[in-house]
Amino acid sequence: MQHRQHTRLSYHLLASALSYPGDDARALFAWSVRATVHGMLSHESYLRQAAQPQAYRLGDDRMQRQMSILGDLDANAVADLMQTATGPAQFTLRWNGYNQLAPLGVSTRLCSNDTNDNTRDDAAQQTNPSRQGLDISGHATEGLREQVMAACLDYLQTKNALAAERSDRHLLENLDRLGLQEQALRDVCLYLYEEPWADLPASAKKLACSSRSLQRALHQAGLGFAGLRMAIRLNLVSAAIRRGENSLTGIAHAAGFYDAAHLDHSWKQATGINPSQYRQLLA
């Protein structure tokens, strides 16, 4: 496809498995916020990261563990899309549909056999026609990337098989999962889920503190107010689309966006596709 030649992206979870943020609860929560907003990165930057010598020290067990931890914390709308599929057949349709619509540097597809089991195509059957032009450092790098993709697919399909519910307030759920006790962080998240239009002064007033105190509390957690608010807004939009609400303009405004165009820009940055395409994949 023509657009693949100009803008090649990778989903953030693949690169994160190679640059794991560590087991510190604050770092992991900050990662989940950033991943919600910046869900896509340059595919070329992912290739360079995979070529770094330290990446090859990742073993299978560690890769699976890191993917599982990060996947559970992934509040991005793409994770919502994949983890709410009702069974293997719908998961396959959504995965393949997303790979077709998003400008991915390397697109993979799943196929189902007669018993509805999902199997990954092998490397030679990946669908991106320009794939050979993306290999920058030989078979070792390619093998690592295949390992990362395998870990991602294994995680997503395992979660899908468990039919886990996706929270409409995933970031709040992540605070509990990580055992974070910072009251200011919890309170501002609660407030922004209720009032996504709120600015920093209004949020500080609600929390009975100064704007500077709130900024300092967020900074200590590795966050900024605007980034946290955007992540919460995107959570709200994802939940509304999954509930089947029809008007994207109405969804955008209720979640704190000025209009559908404002939402469209942020949604593409987060998922690589626009909200209408995302809703199409949920069908």
pLDDT digits (tens, 9 = 90+) for 63-121: 788 889 999 999 999 999 998 998 889 999 999 999 999 999 887 888 865 444 443 44
Domain final position from 161, 183, 210: 161
> What is the percent of the chain where pLDDT is above 90?
59
Q: For residue 146, name the pLDDT band (cuts at 50, 70, 90).
A: confident
Output the domain CATH number for residue 238: 1.10.10.60
For residues 89 and 193, state if they share a domain. no
pLDDT at 157: 83
Domain final position from 161, 183, 198: 161
For residues 223 and 114, state if they share a domain. no
pLDDT at 122: 36
For residues 195 and 82, state if they share a domain. no
pLDDT at 194: 97
pLDDT at 60: 54
For residues 14 and 128, state if they share a domain. yes
Contact criterion met (CB below 8 Å) for 229 and 196: yes
pLDDT digits (tens, 9 = 90+) for 202-231: 999 999 999 999 999 999 999 999 999 999
Q: What is the DSSP letter of 1?
A: -
Distance CA 13, CA 267 (A): 17
Contact criterion met (CB below 8 Å) for 202 and 7: no
Give, to the nearest 10 degrees, the angle between helix 170-178 and helix 183-194: 160
Q: Domain of 105?
A: 2-161
For residues 107 and 182, state if they share a domain. no
pTM of the entire structure?
Answer: 0.86
The average pLDDT across 49-68 equals 70
Question: How far is C-alpha 255 from the geometric centre of its chain's CA atoms?
Answer: 18
Q: For residue 156, name the pLDDT band (cuts at 50, 70, 90).
A: confident
Query: Minimal CA–CA distance to 146: which of 54, 14, 41?
Result: 14
Sign of CA dihedral 85, 87, 89, 95: positive
Q: For residue 128, name the pLDDT band (cuts at 50, 70, 90).
A: very low
Count of domains forming the chain: 2
The average pLDDT across 185-199 equals 97
The average pLDDT across 4-33 equals 87
pLDDT at 162: 65
For residues 30 and 71, state if they share a domain. yes
Report residue 54 as tokens.
Answer: 């330290």
Give yes or no for residue 3 having a pLDDT over 60. Answer: no
For residues 210 and 269, state if they share a domain. yes
Contact criterion met (CB below 8 Å) for 38 and 11: no
For residues 102 and 194, state if they share a domain. no
Q: For residue 57, name the pLDDT band (cuts at 50, 70, 90).
A: low
Average per-residue pLDDT in the chain? 84
> What is the percent of the chain where pLDDT is above 70?
82
